[in-house]
Structure 1
Amino acid sequence: MGTTEDYPIDYYYDSNFTTRETIQENSTPTVQLVVQFLAVIIYSVTCLLGLLGNGLVIAMITFEMKKSVSIIWFLNLAAADFLFNVFLPLNIAYTALGYHWLFGRGMCKVNSMLLNLNMYTSVFLLTTISFDRCMLVVFPVWSQNHRNAKTAWLACLAVWALGFVMSSPSLVFRDTGLVRDHLICFNNFSMSSSPLDHPLGEQIHTAVTLTRFVVSFVLPLIVITACYAVIIVRLKRNRLAKSKKPMKIIVAIILTFFLCWCPYHALHLLETQHRYIPASVLKLGLPIVTAVAASNSCMNPVLYVFLGQDFQKFKVTVLSRLASALSEDTVHSMIPRRSFTKPSSMTEKETILS
């Protein structure tokens, strides 16, 4: 691995400044190499587990399962994460080579756009899933009469379109530039050949960062938390939950979402005030928080599929567990059967707390 002294603070998503302070600062090479090594390890494990886990979900859904509303959510979520992991080796190579980009300016733009597309589509899909589960609990009869595969596909199409629009700035601002001996892939928000401390570039950088923070983190987190809070209150008030497992799943979903993305957004917000933050904090912190955020793409199959199953009670194969989790009728597992007066009140196997 090469030295990390000659690249901008934010090397991965929003690299827009190559500040003189950053270039001239001498930080401990050993610490930088350790951080670089950890980032490569996290990316590599994420890529391996993400391709296997999400690929397995996609294969099972495509070839083995009926396309219910819940299954469509899972398929699109797995597809977004799988697409992210397909291009993750480019970032593994970039990090392992000391942040030296070998794949050209065009791929720098496309790769960054796809990575941001995964972030937005994944968060929007998780928000949609949470809202859908909330509607199932609060308005079960209405949901069963109005929810269908066509509507779900249209919602997913809207999510992908919105995700593309939100990630399109990468196609405009992403650029490559030579910093000493390294060809870096960075965001040139000033659209200038000399982006050092450019006032317009800094304003655009701040606007993009704040917009991303609000749209891809704050608003989804509020909606997700509110939806599951309503679910908890509803189930407890009606005394429909038979165990604490649904509560644990909800807490795991919200905490994982928060823990994966909060450090990432926090450090990027600090980067907009880079003059007042020690460059070493950003230089050493950004690779780790970005890798942790990326790791969310391999956690989704665990959180939204396997976590809903008690493996101690199932002596079956992984594929059988996966199929059971994806099509599990969790409504019946949480709500006593006597609460249903008609057999037709639940016609589709849905996963409320997947």
Structure 2
Amino acid sequence: MTPTSIPANSSHENQNNTVCRYDGNDWLFTVIPVYILIISVLGIILNVFVLMVFWLHKKACTVAEIYLSNLAAADLILVSLLPFWAVYLLERYNWPFGEPPCKLVPFSISMNAYCSIYTLVLVSIDRYLALVHPLTHERMRTPFCAKLACAVVWGVCFLLNVPVLIYREVVHRPEKNVSRCALSYSDQTDKAINILNVILNFIIPILIISFCTLKIIQALTNRLRDSYSTEGKEQKATTLILAVLLAFLICWVPFHVFKILDLLSRNNIVGGCEFRLSWFQQIAIFLPFFNSVLNPILYVCVGKNFRKKVKEVFSQMSNRRKSTFSLASTRTNLSRSVKTEDATS
């Protein structure tokens, strides 16, 4: 389930089990839209920068870089659509964009949130194979397999979010003079889909990532203890990946914890209000968006190979400018020489 699921006022908002309401003057409608717009601008700039570095560099991307470029692409699409939700909150849950955007925007945000998470699963598996089973699974760690795995992830994430595309619709409420972008299925179906999303979008990925990360740390510890050094590139890539995984956990775990508590409260397993209106929950809902900005910052701050690529790309661009300027100067000199010869003759 993505952060759009709670603020978007789905079909269960009028049920008796959601007696807790947001205050009309709540900071949700003032501070959060500004935060979302800042995240959107920074996310677009930083992720475009990352993709341009990978695209312009003369060398082909490694397996890890293929995954990171797909992660940047998913983050870029996600943050590009966030301004729609900022406007939605500024309008106090009044959707002004019509039916097609009501379907496409939540679908695209949800799909790319899924893609970000499962790309991180691929990244953790790749690091696991590289460090724990470097010889036995070498054939699986090829650029072709990495691209194929990314294509499968995008396809599966598309299919998993088809219900968002189908059931989102604009619901007009004349008595409140608002139009909500809401999910049109029943409350029971909503609960079932939320449970499924928690399993697919949190429990399964977190189990895989946790297992791989523990094995990676164990492998690195054993190699240091045995005075055995891993290959430089692999070790640098692993450091970056571990930082990206840690950022993912910090940004996404609080949201899913509150999501699980919300599901438990709807089923009367735990108390309701305290899990719905707290500031901590509001922060947890919108914190995952920051992950799309944090990832490219980590590439620069932690990724030595990425910083090297950035320098090489700028060096390539500088050399191209110099060669272009030199060629232009040569043509100008030749043109002047020809004109001088014509004048003297």
Q: TM-score, normalised by structure 2?
A: 0.75
1:186 matched to 2:182? The reply is yes
Q: Check the 8 A contact 1:39/1:288 in 2, yes or no.
A: no
In structure 2, distance between residues paired with 1:268 and 1:105: 27
Cα offset, 1:174, TM superposition: 1.0
1:251 to partner: Cα distance = 6.2
Distance 1:40 1:241, change over 3 A: farther
SS of residue in 2 equivalent to 1:184: strand
Partner residue of 2:66? 72
Q: Secondary structure at the match of 2:170?
A: strand
Q: How does 1:267-282 map to 2 (within 5 A)?
A: 267-272=258-263, 273-274=265-266, 277-278=272-273, 281-282=276-277
Amino acid at match of 1:71: E
Q: Does 1:35 align with 2:28?
A: yes
Count, aligned residues? 298
Contact 1:53 1:301 in 2 (8 A): yes
CA distance in 1, matches of 2:21, 2:150: 47
The structure with the largest helix share of the pair is: 2
SS at match of 2:182: strand
Structure 1's unaligned 5+ residue stretches are 1-8, 190-200, 325-354
Residues 55-134 of structure 1 mapped to structure 2, 5 A cutoff: 55-64=48-57, 65-134=59-128
Q: Of the two, which has the highest radius of gyration? A: 2
Secondary structure class of the residue paired with 1:238? helix
Pairing partner for 2:45 from 44, 52, 57: 52
Deviates more, 1:61-70 or 1:180-189: 61-70
**1:164 and 2:158 aligned:** yes
- The separation in 2 between residues aligned to 1:238 and 1:84, in whole angstroms, is 39
Whether contact under 8 Å (1:127, 1:220) holds in the other structure is yes
2:204 is matched by which residue type in structure 1? L
Is residue 2:297 matched to residue 1:297?
Answer: no
Task: Give yes or no for contact 1:175–1:188 (8 Å, CA) kept in 2.
Answer: yes
Q: Given the alignment, which residue of 261, 278, 293 partners 2:252?
A: 261
Counterparts of 1:123 and 1:322 in 2: how far apart (Å)?
29
Please give the alpha-carbon distance, in whole angstroms, between the structure 2 residues aligned to 1:241 and 1:127.
Answer: 25
How far residue 47 of structure 1 moved from its aligned partner, in angstroms, is 0.6
Residues 1:18 and 2:13 are matched in the alignment = yes
Give 1:225 deviation, angstroms. Answer: 1.5
Report the 3-state secondary structure (helix = DSSP H, G, I; strand = E; otherwise coil) of the residue aligned with 1:256.
helix
Structure 1's 248 and 144: CA in aligned 2 closer, same or farther, altered over 3 A? closer
Partner Cα separation in structure 1 for residue 36 and residue 310 of structure 2? 25
Contact 1:57–1:322 (Cα < 8 Å) also in 2: no
SS at match of 2:13: coil
Within-5 A mapping of 1:314-325: 319-320=310-311
Amino acid corresponding to residue 76 of structure 1 in structure 2: N
Match of 1:235 in 2: 220
Letter in 2 for 1:55: V
Q: Deviations over 1:147-197 (max 9, x none)?
A: 2221111111100011111111101221211341221111121xxxxxxxx
Q: 2:335 aligns to what?
A: none
- The answer as to whether partners of 1:11 and 1:186 remain within 8 angstroms in 2 is no
- The 1-side partners of 2:139 and 2:19 are apart by 64
* Contact 2:28 2:89 (8 Å CA) reproduced: no
CA contact (8 A) 1:177 1:183 kept: yes
Q: CA RMSD in A?
A: 3.4
1:75-107 Cα shifts (integer Å, max 9, x gaps): 211111111112111111111222211111121
Percent identity, aligned pairs only? 25
Which residue number in structure 1 is paired with residue 330 of structure 2?
A: none
- The one-letter amino acid paired with 1:153 is K
